Amino acid sequence: MFTGIITDTGKVRQLTQLGDLRARIGTAYQTAGIEIGASIACDGVCLTVVALGDDWFDADVSAETLSKTNLGKWAEGKRINLERALKVGDELGGHIVSGHVDGLAEVVAVTDEGDSTRVKLRAPKDLARFIAPKGSVALNGTSLTVNEVDGQDFGINFIPHTKQVTTWGDVSVGDPINLEIDTLARYVARLAETA
């Protein structure tokens, strides 16, 4: 489990096709404190650490993960959002995030408003019903509040701090974004279906 509060922006250093895709991620994390088998959310995707170096970790990415996320678009040098797994007693500053991506949203507009940036995204039709104004979503692993919803489109406002400590300062129209809907929204919708 994660919170959606990004604690490092890593960089894809190497991509190697083995049986699965092996990704080497450069990080500022103290890797001596990371164990093989640990979970790290990489752009919102829960990946398992399979090897470690002084300032990097390796994770294997399955074909299933590549088909459901934007990780298939990764290239060497790409910056990505990172978050270590939640520990009991940690502050829950965002919302509960599983690291299991539900689908890809597409950036359809980027507009600067003062020092903030307004981003409009389009959700897949089957996921749009789970997104509500003032509700939470995880986008590329970042816990965010939805400003408004219009059909499949929804808006997010990024303050300068968020743009500085995540990769959201690099966003462009057309970018595919890993979308994880709020777990609570999923259960409320399921209950409504069975009522």
| C-alpha of 36 from chain center | 22
Query: Hunting for tokens 């996921």 — which residue is that?
Result: 127
Q: Say if residue 176 is in the same domain as residue 127.
A: yes
Query: Hunting for tokens 């809907």 — which residue is that?
Result: 181
| Residue-level length of the chain | 195
DSSP tag of 170? G
Cα(175)–Cα(77) distance, integer angstroms:
16
Lowest mean pLDDT among 18-32, 77-91, 107-121: 77-91
Give pLDDT, residue 195: 67
Q: How many domains does the chain have?
A: 2
**Where residue 55 falls among pLDDT bands split at 50, 70, 90?**
very high
Q: Say if residue 109 is in the same domain as residue 189.
A: yes
**Could you tell me if residue 93 is inside a domain?**
no
**Where residue 192 falls among pLDDT bands split at 50, 70, 90?**
confident
Mean pLDDT of the chain: 94
Give pLDDT, residue 96: 86
Q: Last residue of a domain, which of 84, 117, 144?
A: 84
Q: Last residue of a domain, which of 23, 51, 84?
A: 84
Is a pLDDT exceeding 70 seen at residue 64?
yes
Q: Say if residue 179 is in the same domain as residue 132.
A: yes
Give pLDDT, residue 90: 76
Domain range for 125: 103-194
Task: State the average pLDDT over residues 109-117.
Answer: 96
Q: Say if residue 129 is in the same domain as residue 79.
A: no
Q: Say if residue 169 is in the same domain as residue 108.
A: yes
Q: Say if residue 77 is in the same domain as residue 157.
A: no
Q: Say if residue 110 is in the same domain as residue 31.
A: no
pTM: 0.94
| C-alpha of 121 from chain center | 14
Q: Say if residue 138 is in the same domain as residue 171.
A: yes
**Could you tell me if residue 3 is inside a domain?**
no
Angle of CA points 86, 91, 93, to nearest 5°: 95
Q: Say if residue 74 is in the same domain as residue 123.
A: no
Q: Last residue of a domain, which of 49, 84, 119?
A: 84
**Could you tell me if residue 171 is inside a domain?**
yes
Is a pLDDT exceeding 90 seen at residue 130?
yes
Q: Say if residue 178 is in the same domain as residue 126.
A: yes
Over residues 74-102, the pLDDT tens digits come to: 999 999 999 999 887 777 788 889 999 99
**Could you tell me if residue 2 is inside a domain?**
no
Q: Say if residue 116 is in the same domain as residue 158.
A: yes
Q: Say if residue 112 is in the same domain as residue 74.
A: no
**Where residue 149 falls among pLDDT bands split at 50, 70, 90?**
very high
- What CATH number is given to the structural domain containing 183? 2.40.30.20
Give pLDDT, residue 88: 76
